[in-house]
Amino acid sequence: MGTWSIWHWLILLLIVLAVFGTKKLVNAGSDLGAAVRNFKKAMHEGEQEAKAAGEKPAIEGQATVVPEAEKPQQKV
């Protein structure tokens, strides 16, 4: 009873189509796809710039260490 069957998903899809219409859903999907492509492109360009500058590209999950002199001062 806790999981949704295929019929629940089909009914939900029909309701969403009735509320938003197919044109708005297609536009939203293409906008989302373009945003993901632009994000990937920017990440790839950033890695290339880092390699060209001789820097080590950031690895996902790796902590970045900032020297004490470069840390912004906190006001108390």
| pLDDT value for 39 | 94
pLDDT at 1: 53
Structure tokens at 36: 């993901």
Looking at residue 22, what is its pLDDT?
Answer: 83
What pLDDT score was predicted for residue 12? 93
SS (H, E, C) 23-62: HHHHHHHHHHHHHHHHHHHHHHHHHHHHHHCCCCCCCCCC
pLDDT of 64: 60
10-residue averages of pLDDT along the chain (76 residues): 83 90 87 94 87 67 59 63
